[in-house]
A and B are shown apart, each in its own frame.
Chain A
Amino acid sequence: MAKVTVWGSLRSQTGGQATVEIEARNVMELLARLGESYPGLQPTLKRGVSVSIDGLIYREGWLQPLQPETEVYLLPRMTGG
């Protein structure tokens, strides 16, 4: 079970919850399950997101393994100049 925190304006898609628990071994699974459990998140996920795992931000880290205690944050997809 990884704990995923979504940013404020996505909470309307997760039944008001800031943090949801998802069974996933890595980021790819996590995003897939997240979309299945909360279809309202699909447009955001499709547009692309970054995830922060224990404080480090990943833009493409699909295979990044998740431990049960891992703190995961969903973040908008990073861009830069």
Chain B
Amino acid sequence: MPLDNPSANTRKYKLVGTRPDRQDGFDKVTGRAKFGADAVAPGQLAGSILRSPHAHARIRSIDTSKAEKLAGVKAVVTRADFPDKTAGDSGLFDILTNIMARDKALYEGHAVAAVAAVSPAVAKQALKLIKVDYEVLPHVTDVDEAMKPTAPVLHPKLFTEGLAEKPKKPSNIARRYEFGHGDVEAGFAKADIIVERSFKTEATHQGYIEPHACLANVSPDGSGELWVCTQGHFMVRDYCARLLGLEISKLRVTASEIGGGFGGKTTVFLEPVALALSRKANRPVKLVMSRDEVFKCTGPTSSASIDVKIGVTKDGLITAADATLRYQGGAFPGSPAEFGAMSAFAQYHLDNVRTIAYDVVTNRPKQAAYRAPGAPMANFAVESMIEELAHKLGMAPIDFRIKNAAREGTRSSYGPVYGPIGLLATLEEARKHPHFKAPLGPNQGRGMAAGFWFNFGGQSCVSLNIPVDGTVTISVGSPDIGGSRASMCLMTAEELGIPYEHVRAIIADTSSLGYNDVTDGSRTTFATGMACILAARDAIKKLCQRAARMWGIPEEAVTWEKGYAKPAGANAGNFPPLSLKEIAAASGGTGGPIAGHHEYSADGAGVSFATHICDVEVDPETGATRIVRYTVLQDAGKAVHPSYVEGQFQGGAVQGIGWALNEEYVYGKDGRLQNAGFLDYRIPVCSDLPMIDTKILEIPNPGHPYGVRGVGETSIVPPLAAVANAVSNAVGVRMTELPISPPRLLKALDTVSLAKAS
């Protein structure tokens, strides 16, 4: 895509890079902002979902007759109400099967039936009257167990893809991936030191504070409306229409304010069910998940089991790197194993590298994307080994990393050669950072890690309108999770040359704007932001045209500068500049309303790197770990609104800290989740943490007019290893399993003291 800002490096910005107040702030601090569960419709019914208590069971029959007869019940739906309209699209069929179980319940919490009734109490009572005849089957929840030939098989038609030959028997291994280049065996032969270890990480949940919620309203004529908290309302519309056989244009989906997503709201769960209930009842139906449901039935991320082997020469050059990654992604194929494999070694310059990944199904909820999906676990394993190797070599871990760091021209571990990247900059900056020289106290340890994420662009459509007072509204189709509207307004105002306060952004519904991809992959500020810039340029063209008409000169003779139309040169005539406001005021007479548009599929997002430094203090008595100091250094390309960039760095780091220290899905022998609540699934709280220091680096992305890169995801990649390295350094034992909860740490400490004693 030709971009006319080769000088992103040197360009002076008036607004981009400043920190104005976000415009939706007022509504959000006064309680006025409307989130998923905050909407009401006249005559609305309350929906509720019956879920499987079993991890794995054949559903012989479902009898809803008693529930249907209960006074106040207006509709009941089961698998019979979701005929297969997926036309051979296996991914869509999995979604259909996930939102309502078909022949089998595949995990505890799998939806089996749903009710709409006049009140939540009646709906709950009706659920109790539904009789489901289950044949309980053996289950498996652990990834390594699920891969064994003796494991209970979830899907009799699942044959491993990616093997040289199609296997003869079905298994729980959905796919095998392999990436890499060079010859690892030859590389290991050149190594002086080889280290090999296995690592495990537990599944964690995105943990957004707002549970899924939606309000559906379907009319008998087949048209419908849906209010929903989602990262992508166009995605919701398209999935729901296809699953229910509705015409896409007849379903209008409005995105509510969204209370966090982190990847977890990039698919559908409740929405098709609410629509089906509403269609059957011919009344609006509201469905809201409880926290228990969020944990049991929506996407956590994968748990993983990873083997890593790395060889180095005496002077610290990596000669070969090899990893095998096994990710379970719940009851359906699609764990991000391939991204784990692609990103595992992406921060290093390697001549010989190989990664093999297995995507495995188990009797757990279908995983959903979680911030840089697949990368944090792989990074934990690799960066732990890098730290260990540095110790073995007697090198400072930072120097070992810098020596082997990927740079411009490096062939990445997933194939392509890197253009300009910011890894070295973050490492060098880290080495200079005062954090690195700060003294450590007793029982304290310092760790670091470098991480990578791809980022992508995707489809965006933006419409910009200029009313007669010269203010500007931009309609975007990317739900705003973390303040992206402020960034959109900044970029639009920058481009038009008008004050930030004159631009207002709204999230348009699916009937008002062309398709927009989900807000994910760190794409919104990059791709939708660039669409705002290009829509502004489109509007500028029209503004110049109008000025030309007002002056009676040809439009080529007009240029745009800092919010004003000006004659291009002396020959064009001598007219005083016309402001955007003046042109807008005259628009009715010069050709009607002025608008700018841009719709496209953005590419060139540019990969991103981060380095994190972490100090911890462990309590050898209790096994508890406290974060003492934490620093994030990351390349943002160009920070449009630095406060929200810092916020992304800090939020991602803290989610990673939770993953490293506390958070995990705990399953009982019965295959049931034992900690489906915030009390037992403990996400970091305010008193667990210090301030999270941030350092934004700006290595411009050549694929964006202002040099912007996505920043949302990379920040969750390094913390797992940074924390684990810090703990390992504090206690002198390599921690190979996450989370490093007090019992795990105490066990590790016991092993060392036993070893010392004997």
Partner of A64, one of B161, B373, B603: B603
* Shortest distance from the beta carbon of A15 to any chain B beta carbon, whole Å: 11
Assuming A8-B178, A8-B179, A47-B91, is B521 touching A78 (CB within 8 A)? yes
A38 at the binding interface (Cβ < 8 Å): no
Across-interface contacts of A47 in B (CB, < 8 A): 91
Interface of A (DSSP majority class): mixed
For residues 17 through 51 of chain A, which have their beta carbon under 8 Å from a beta carbon of chain B? 43-44, 47, 50
B369 touches A81 (CB 8 A): yes
* Shortest distance from the beta carbon of A41 to any chain B beta carbon, whole Å: 11
Across-interface contacts of A8 in B (CB, < 8 A): 177-180, 354, 356
Q: CA–CA, A55 to B416, complex, Å? A: 5
Assuming A73-B416, A79-B373, A80-B372, is B603 touching A57 (CB within 8 A)? yes
B176 touches A57 (CB 8 A): no
B263 at the binding interface (Cβ < 8 Å): yes
A75 touches B523 (CB 8 A): no
Partner of B520, one of A9, A57, A81: A81
Across-interface contacts of B179 in A (CB, < 8 A): 7-8
Across-interface contacts of B458 in A (CB, < 8 A): 59-60
Q: CA–CA, A52 to B165, complex, Å? A: 27
Q: CA–CA, A8 to B184, complex, Å? A: 13
**Closest A residue, CB atoms, query B604:** A56
Q: CA–CA, A7 to B355, complex, Å? A: 10
Q: CA–CA, A60 to B180, complex, Å? A: 24
A75 touches B336 (CB 8 A): no
**Closest B residue, CB atoms, query A73:** B415
B262 touches A81 (CB 8 A): yes
A60 touches B339 (CB 8 A): no
Assuming A8-B180, A52-B415, is B162 touching A80 (CB within 8 A)? no
Across-interface contacts of A79 in B (CB, < 8 A): 266, 336, 339, 369, 373, 520-521
* Shortest distance from the beta carbon of A14 to any chain B beta carbon, whole Å: 12
Across-interface contacts of A54 in B (CB, < 8 A): 416-417
Across-interface contacts of B522 in A (CB, < 8 A): 80
For residues 686 through 717 of chain B, which have their beta carbon under 8 Å from a beta carbon of chain A? 703, 712-713
B370 at the binding interface (Cβ < 8 Å): yes
A80 touches B416 (CB 8 A): no
Counting chain A CB atoms within 10 Å of each CB, the highest count among B339, B369, B415 belongs to B415
Interface size of A in residues (CB-CB distance below 8 Å): 28
Across-interface contacts of B338 in A (CB, < 8 A): 76
Across-interface contacts of B605 in A (CB, < 8 A): 57
Across-interface contacts of A52 in B (CB, < 8 A): 415-416
Counting chain B CB atoms within 10 Å of each CB, the highest count among A9, A58, A73 belongs to A9
Assuming A43-B161, A81-B373, A81-B520, is B416 touching A71 (CB within 8 A)? yes
* Shortest distance from the beta carbon of A37 to any chain B beta carbon, whole Å: 19
Assuming A59-B456, A60-B459, A76-B339, is B178 touching A9 (CB within 8 A)? yes
B487 at the binding interface (Cβ < 8 Å): no
For residues 599 through 646 of chain B, which have their beta carbon under 8 Å from a beta carbon of chain A? 601, 603-607
Across-interface contacts of A71 in B (CB, < 8 A): 416-417
Across-interface contacts of A10 in B (CB, < 8 A): 162
For residues 523 through 540 of chain B, which have their beta carbon under 8 Å from a beta carbon of chain A? 523
Across-interface contacts of A78 in B (CB, < 8 A): 454, 456, 521
Across-interface contacts of B360 in A (CB, < 8 A): none
Across-interface contacts of B91 in A (CB, < 8 A): 47
B603 touches A12 (CB 8 A): no
* Shortest distance from the beta carbon of B204 to any chain A beta carbon, whole Å: 12
A68 at the binding interface (Cβ < 8 Å): no
Across-interface contacts of A59 in B (CB, < 8 A): 456-458, 601, 603
B415 touches A5 (CB 8 A): yes
Partner of A81, one of B165, B457, B607, B713: B713
Q: CA–CA, A62 to B419, complex, Å? A: 21
B163 at the binding interface (Cβ < 8 Å): yes
* Shortest distance from the beta carbon of B539 to any chain A beta carbon, whole Å: 25
**Closest A residue, CB atoms, query B372:** A81
* Shortest distance from the beta carbon of A10 to any chain B beta carbon, whole Å: 7
A61 touches B373 (CB 8 A): no
Across-interface contacts of B261 in A (CB, < 8 A): 81
Across-interface contacts of A60 in B (CB, < 8 A): 458-459, 601, 603
A7 touches B415 (CB 8 A): yes
B347 at the binding interface (Cβ < 8 Å): no
7 nearest A-B residue pairs (beta carbon):
A81-B263, A80-B521, A8-B178, A9-B162, A52-B416, A81-B371, A73-B415
Residues of A within 8 A of B (CB): 5, 7-10, 12, 43-44, 47, 50, 52, 54-61, 64, 71, 73, 75-76, 78-81
- Between A and B, 30 residue pairs with Cβ closer than 8 Å are A5-B415, A7-B177, A8-B177, A8-B180, A8-B356, A9-B162, A9-B175, A9-B178, A9-B356, A12-B163, A43-B161, A55-B416, A55-B417, A55-B418, A56-B603, A59-B457, A60-B458, A60-B601, A60-B603, A61-B601, A71-B416, A75-B415, A76-B338, A78-B456, A79-B266, A79-B369, A79-B520, A80-B453, A81-B263, A81-B373
Known contacts A7-B177, A12-B165; 20 additional CB pairs below 8 A are A9-B162, A9-B163, A9-B356, A43-B161, A44-B161, A55-B416, A56-B603, A56-B604, A59-B601, A60-B459, A76-B177, A78-B454, A79-B339, A79-B520, A79-B521, A80-B369, A80-B454, A80-B456, A81-B266, A81-B370
